[in-house]
Homo-oligomer: A and B are copies of this chain.
Amino acid sequence: MTDIWYTEKYNNNLGLTFKIKGTLHCEQSDFQKVEVIETEAYGKMLLLDGLVMTTEKDEFFYHEMISHIPMLSHPNPERVLVVGGGDGGTVREVLNHPSVKEVVLCEIDGAVIDVSKKYLPSIAGKLDDPRVKINVEDAIEYMKRQNKSFDVILIDSTDPMGPGEGLFTEDFYTNVKNALKENGVMAAQSESPIMNQKELGLISNLLKKVFPIVKTYIAPVPTYPGSFWSWTFCSETVNPVEIKNEKAAEEIEKHAKFYNKDIHKSVFVLPNFIKDIVKQ
């Protein structure tokens, strides 16, 4: 059989290339091209507009990091909002926290949810949990209507171009702040500190205009550009480096592939070149 390879080019000069078994799904939704391909190295892979969103084998890096760090920075998160994240991986991790009573998933593209449920059940399988409310809507509009509604908001968006663009603005972040309850916390994916240094710097600057506490944290994500990723934590009052619920953290640590209590602190330690980018 002919070898078939899929290459995600990070720019005109560099890419990661995957041997694939075949294409399982390909559609043009109202917002983007939605594809699922099966790779030899990483199992099934979700692509949006040709960019790798998640894979069965390495999704835990990203989903544990975007969820457990902010969730365990809050003593008792009950209501959580996930923006984007239609693959369901972030929702699944949030539901592992026993304090959670409701998770709202606000995803602009229903096709991403449907495709993930069909082809990626190990990632999307908890979207049917009774604590989950799925809201297929542009989060920019949704956020305008919220007021002190959530303990934790997780912005699990695509890149700052395409459908996700409006989620990287001062206006949007201001509405996120207003949507948080007192002592609420948020975290947003903030691009690769290796491949998207300009974008990371811009996101950090914008967030600092809105939140008094802004802290970037980092971890590997093998199938993302540079294989190394950043998230940025924000709050009006909370220092995220301290775990607020030790018992919950120990429980999460038991079942996690990446997270543990020491990792909770170490991911906030930035190499000099990233300190220079985010000025933190």
Q: Which residues of A contact B (CB under 8 A)?
A: 7, 11-19, 39-42, 194, 219-220, 222, 226-228, 253, 256-260, 262-263, 265-266, 269, 271-273, 275
Task: Name the B residues within 8 Å of A39 (CB-CB).
Answer: 13
Option from B19, B260, B265 in Cβ contact (under 8 Å) with A272: B260
Count the copies: 2
Option from B41, B227, B260 in Cβ contact (under 8 Å) with A227: B227
Cα A7 to Cα B17 in complex, Å, equals: 8
Task: Name the B residues within 8 Å of A11 (CB-CB).
Answer: 41
Is A256's CB under 8 angstroms from B269's CB?
A: no
Task: Name the B residues within 8 Å of A226 (CB-CB).
Answer: 220, 222, 227
The distance from the CB of A228 to the nearest CB of chain B, in whole angstroms, is 5
The distance from the CB of A61 to the nearest CB of chain B, in whole angstroms, is 8
A15-B17 CB under 8 A given contacts A257-B271, A269-B266: yes
The distance from the CB of A128 to the nearest CB of chain B, in whole angstroms, is 27
Cα A260 to Cα B276 in complex, Å, equals: 13
Task: Name the B residues within 8 Å of A40 (CB-CB).
Answer: 12-14
Is B13's CB under 8 angstroms from A16's CB?
A: no
The distance from the CB of A9 to the nearest CB of chain B, in whole angstroms, is 8
